[in-house]
């Protein structure tokens, strides 16, 4: 007998800048890392353009390769102690997750954060009970490769329908995973940059996702 979960549709979400307004705490940890290592921090705009990529790759854009391990260590020491200073779920996120769950969707996070860190952050933001799986990027290709999305869907044994994110990396990864893409302008990349990635939907809020997904999966109620 086939597992009915295999037939259930799933929606995949990025985490930072998509479900959670976390940019101030992320930027503060970058500044701390550069300061700790005696280096001048780049501008917030320069950092913001790269957020969503792996930590090592971001630091490598602004520092010599031999400084990157110390910068990463300083960031990873600082961020978990301060990631709740200002970070909060964006308006409407919890309600939308609740409605999608009632409609029968499985919900997953697919993030460039490592899984253990992502799970801690999701719990700190009060979102654990609203999600079915949290998938970080642990030793495999990062977005815009589709690997983290496909691993999340594999863990749920579900059929992916939409990828929801706030960066061009999310949009490109969603397309590579053959999902429809919903780009939010309230996070890391602005509307102009996101538009160039040609998402299926470009919105400044998450509530329109409820209409976007309506009817895209046979057997899903609502």
Active-site residue among 16, 21, 49, 132? Answer: 16
Distance CA 44, CA 46 (A): 5
The neighbouring-strand residues paired with 107 are 11
Mean pLDDT of 119-144: 97
Q: Give the total number of structural domains in the chain.
A: 2
Give me the pLDDT at residue 87, please. 97
Please check whether residues 144 and 173 belong to one and the same domain: yes
Q: Average per-residue pLDDT in the chain? A: 93
Q: Are 128 and 120 in contact (CB under 8 A)?
A: no
**pLDDT recorded at residue 51:** 87
CATH number of the domain to which 32 belongs: 1.10.150.240
Identify the band that residue 151 occupies on the pLDDT scale cut at 50, 70 and 90: very high
Binned at pLDDT 50, 70 and 90, residue 215 comes out as low
Domain membership flag for residue 221: no
pLDDT value of residue 131: 98
Q: Say what the pLDDT of residue 216 is.
A: 64
Residue 93's pLDDT band, with cuts at 50, 70 and 90, is: very high
Contact 22, 83 (CB under 8 A): yes
| pLDDT of 1 | 37
Taking only Cα atoms into account, the Rg of the chain, rounded to an integer number of angstroms, comes to 17
- pLDDT at residue number 53: 87
138 belongs to a structural domain:
yes
pLDDT, tens digit, 9 for 90 and up, residues 2-53:
454 457 999 999 999 999 999 999 999 999 999 999 999 999 999 998 988 8
Q: How, if at all, do strands 20-21 and 133-135 pair?
A: unpaired
The reply to whether 147 belongs to the active site is no
Which of the residues 3, 14, 21, 129 is marked catalytic? Answer: 14
Q: Please report the pLDDT score of residue 214 as a whole number.
A: 85
Query: Is 129 known to be catalytic?
Result: no
Question: Do 104 and 10 belong to one domain?
Answer: yes
> 103 and 113: one domain?
yes
Domain match, 13 and 95 both? yes
Say whether both 62 and 91 belong to one domain: no
Q: Tell whether 169 and 117 lie within a shared domain.
A: yes
Report how far apart, in Å, the C-alpha atoms of 118 and of each of 59, 67, 83, 133 are: 20, 25, 11, 11
Which domain range does residue 108 map to? 4-22+87-212
- Three-state helix/strand/coil letters over 79-108: HHHHCCCCCEECCCHHHHHHHHHHCCCEEE
Based on the domain organization, do 37 and 141 belong to the same domain?
A: no
| Contact between residue 153 and residue 108 where contact means Cβ atoms under 8 Å apart | yes
């Amino acid at each position: 007998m086939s597992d009915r979960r295999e037939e259930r549709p799933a929606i995949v979400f990025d985490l930072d800048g998509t479900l959670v307004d976390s940019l101030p705490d992320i930027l503060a940890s970058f500044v701390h890392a550069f300061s700790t290592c005696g280096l001048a921090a780049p501008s917030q705009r320069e950092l913001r353009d790269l957020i969503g990529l792996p930590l090592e790759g971001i630091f490598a854009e602004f520092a010599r390769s031999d400084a990157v391990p110390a910068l990463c260590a300083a960031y990873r020491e600082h961020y978990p102690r301060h990631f709740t200073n200002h970070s909060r779920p964006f308006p409407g996120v919890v309600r939308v997750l609740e409605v999608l769950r009632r409609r029968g969707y499985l919900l997953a996070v697919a993030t460039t954060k490592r899984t253990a860190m992502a799970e801690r952050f999701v719990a700190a933001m009060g979102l654990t009970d609203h999600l079915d799986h949290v998938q970080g990027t642990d030793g495999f290709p990062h977005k815009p490769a589709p690997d983290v999305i496909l691993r999340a869907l594999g863990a749920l044994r579900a059929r992916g329908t939409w990828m929801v994110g706030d960066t061009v990396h999310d949009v490109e990864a969603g397309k590579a995973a053959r999902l429809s893409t919903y780009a939010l302008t309230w996070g890391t990349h602005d509307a102009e940059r996101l538009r160039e990635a040609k998402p299926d939907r470009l919105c400044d809020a998450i509530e329109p996702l409820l209409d976007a997904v309506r009817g895209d999966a046979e057997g899903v109620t609502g």
